[in-house]
Amino acid sequence: MDHPPNPQRPDLRALFLAFAAVGLSGFGGVLPFARRMLVEQRRWLSAEEFNAQLGLCQFLPGPNVVNLSIVVGKRFHGWRGAVVAPLGMLLAPMLIVLLLGMAYDRWGQLPLAQEMLRGIAAAGCALLFAMAWRMGTALRDKALFLPFTVLTVAAIAWLRWPLPAVMLGGLAAAGAVAWWRLGRP
């Protein structure tokens, strides 16, 4: 499907509101919603531009969608856009989550609330397992790279090593294997 570029540059208000809508529509990850808004609905980015920009956002640590909103904001309105777009995406959901936090402080100790939260946590961790499964099956060269997944789980979940050390060592080792792999036809 082809989406012709939108000739109209969004103003700051439009940026804010568009990202607010994205932030509020996503449950368990808003990236798909961000893509739909940017590429298909508003057509502020082409599909290729979106993929290229997302590359850096996923390459760097940190919340990917926040990074993405900064890239899009900067593109249209420099530093002002880069402030307004992430604020638009975060403010309303932050308010909601804080209200829920207050409710938790008030009623969280009730047995009924505890039971409900345990059910939600079960569903939440099931969604995480599914996400890991999906990402794992999408890995290229599984025989080469899945062992690094297993080592990461062993170091983090079982041995409880600190993440910075694991990431540094893991990235050096997995990056070296990837470097070697890329050098072969």
According to CB under 8 A, which residues from 153 to 172 bind other proteins?
153, 156-157, 160, 162-164, 166-167, 170-171
Integer Cα distance of 170 and 173 in angstroms: 5
Q: According to the binding rule CB under 8 A, does residue 110 interact with other proteins?
A: no
Q: Is 132 in the site for other proteins (CB under 8 A)?
A: yes
Per CB under 8 A, 104 contacts other proteins: yes
The residue within the footprint of other proteins, chosen from 17, 29, 36, 110 (CB under 8 A), is 29
- Express the helix, strand and coil content of the chain in percent, nearest 5 each: 80, 0, 20
Give the one residue of 11, 40, 80, 124 binding other proteins; rule: CB under 8 A: 124
Structure tokens at 88: 């638009």
Measured over the CA atoms of residue 18, residue 20, residue 26 and residue 30, the dihedral's sign is: positive
- Per CB under 8 A, contacts with other proteins among 9-28 are 23-28
51: amino acid identity, one letter: N
Total number of residues binding other proteins (CB under 8 A)?
97
Residue numbers 63-82 binding other proteins by CB under 8 A: 63-67, 70-71, 74, 79, 82
Return contacts of 39-43, CB within 8 angstroms, 24+ apart.
Answer: 39/3, 40/1, 40/3, 42/6, 42/10, 42/18, 43/3, 43/4, 43/5, 43/6
- Of the residues 125, 143, 184, 185, which one makes contact with other proteins according to CB under 8 A: 125
Q: Which is nearer to other proteins, 2 or 105 (CB)?
A: 105
**CB nearer to other proteins: pick between 8 and 96:** 96
Among 11, 36, 96, 110, binds other proteins (CB under 8 A): 96
Rule CB under 8 A: say whether 122 interacts with other proteins: yes
Task: Decide: 156 and 150 in contact? Cβ < 8 Å.
Answer: no
Decide: 93 and 24 in contact? Cβ < 8 Å. yes
Contact flag: residue 59 with other proteins (CB under 8 A)? yes
139 binds other proteins (CB under 8 A): yes
Q: How far is CA 151 from CA 17, 105, 115, 129, 170, in A?
A: 43, 38, 34, 17, 9
Nearest distance from residue 7's CB to other proteins, in Å?
A: 23
Cα(18)–Cα(154) distance, integer angstroms: 41
